[in-house]
Amino acid sequence: MNDPLPNEFRRGPPRLSDAVEAIASGSKPHDMTNIDDIADALNKLAATGDPVSIYPTSSPNVIMARIHSVDPELPLFTLELNEGETLPPGESLFVAWLGSAKLQFKLSSPVWMTMPNAPTQLMAEFPLKCQILNRRAAQRLETPLGVYYMASFVLNGKPYELQLYDFSLGGVGMRAAPRDAVGLHVGRRLQRVRLELGPDSVMIADLDVRLSRTFRSFLLGEQVQIGCQFVNLSSSMQQELERQLDKLNSGRKAF
C-alpha cells in the first residue's frame, strides 16, 4: 500500500472540533464514479492527513479518523481511528475536506476488517461513488468600503472583534492584525459569534475556522486572514443571509 511519510498535518489524533458536517440537504454536489479519481482523492487525504469524520447509522456519535494508506490496485484503503474508538458494523457516512471541496461517501460492512497487530486500523473497499461539493459554490461578496461589518465573540475568556471582509451562505472571511488574531487556529470552533451584516442586520452564529493566512496590506501592514464556515445555521438565519447578499448585490448593480 501507499503509506505516505508522516507530516505536520498528521501529528496527534484528530479532535471532535475537527469534525466535518455532512453535505446539507438541498445542496447540489456532483458525483465522482471514476475509480482513478476516487483513488486520487483518497491518496490526497492520506498524504495531507486531513481528518475524516465518520457518522455510523447505528450511533449518534461521530468517529474521527485519518486515511493511513491506499492501495488502488485491490482497491482498498486503510483507516486509522483514534485510540479506543471502534466502528460499529453496518452503514456509515464518511466526510472530509478535500482542498476547497467537501468529499462524502457511504460504506457498509457487517464486520470491518482490522489490520494485524493494529486494532485502530481498518481496511475498507473503495466506495463506488463519492459526492463532491465545492466549498465556494455559494455566492461570496466582499463587504463595501466605508461600512463596518464586524464579528464579535469570546474565546477562552478573551474578547475578539474582527472586521468582516466578505460573507456568503457558507461562511465569512475576517481580517485583523496578528496581535488581534492570536488563538484563531484552523479547526477552532467559535461559538455565539455576533455578526453585524450592515447597519440593519445582526445575527448570532457558530463558526469553524477553516483558513488562516498572513498577508501584507499596503495601508494596514501585516494582516491575518481568517476564513470561517457556518455551523448548523437555522432556516431563518439562511434567509437573513440571502436577504443581505441580495441587498448588497443589488446595491452594486445600481452603480
Q: One fold for both 8-134 and 140-253?
A: no
Q: Is the pTM of this model over 0.95?
A: no
Angle at 185 (CA atoms; ends 183, 178), nearest 5 degrees? 55
The DSSP H or E segment spanning 245 is: helix 235-253
Band of pLDDT at residue 155, cut at 50, 70 and 90:
very high
Whether the Cβ atoms of residue 68 and residue 3 lie closer than 8 Å to each other: yes
- Ranges of each domain in the chain: 8-134, 140-253
Q: How far apart are the first and last CA of the chain?
A: 58
> Quick one: which of 237, 146, 149 has its CA closest to 199?
149
Instruction: Say which CATH architecture domain 8-134 belongs to.
Output: Roll (2.30)
Reported as a single tens digit per residue, the pLDDT across 14-55 is 887 778 888 877 777 889 999 999 999 999 899 888 899 999
Give me the CATH topology for the region 140-253.
Answer: Thrombin, subunit H (2.40.10)
Compute the distance between CA of residue 228 and CA of residue 247 in angstroms, rounded to an integer: 22
Convert the pLDDT of each residue in 194-211 to its tens digit.
998 877 788 899 999 888
Whole-number Cα distances in Å, 70 to 14, 128, 215 = 19, 15, 36
